[in-house]
Amino acid sequence: MERMYNDYVRKKQAEIGEDGFGTTNRYKWEDDAEEHVITVTIPVPRGTKRGDIISKITSKHWTFGIKGETPIIYGNFGGIVQPDECTWYFEKGTDNVIASIQKADHEEFMWTNLIIGEEGKKSIEADFDKMAKYCTVIRV
């Protein structure tokens, strides 16, 4: 099943074209498939302090924002992450937060989007879930 999934992901990536990075009006991200890390650059208002930031990460979902405001990032990841290995920091000399999102070990492919549905980008993970409903695994 895993091989079938990886083959499917490669096929979808070939159809979609360039993968592994993106820009929205709220953040930009880049996937380093070799390191299994996604780096996200998030502009925040000047003067934002560490205590002002809210970042809640599960293996499939991320909420990131400023206390009392609408989240900057809210939704399901385009793959699976290791929440305990994810970090963020203020980029020196800028008004940016840099988040390091550690992909799960089996996530060897480049993501097509950071958050499912962001900026109309298609999610391979969502397609696979739909496809899996119609597949039967036969063990020999």
Mean pLDDT, rounded, for 24-51: 93
Mean pLDDT, rounded, for 13-20: 56
pTM as predicted = 0.72
CA angle 101, 106, 107 (to 5 degrees): 45
Structure confidence at residue 66 (pLDDT): 97
Structure confidence at residue 16 (pLDDT): 45
State percent of the chain over pLDDT 70.
71
C-alpha 56 chain-centroid distance: 13
Average pLDDT, the chain: 81
Distance from C-alpha of 132 to C-alpha of 120, rounded to nearest angstrom:
23
Q: To 10 degrees, the CA torsion angle through 114, 100, 23, 116?
A: 10
| H or E element that contains 11 | helix 2-16
pLDDT of residue 44 exceeding 80: yes
CA angle 34, 21, 108 (to 5 degrees): 30
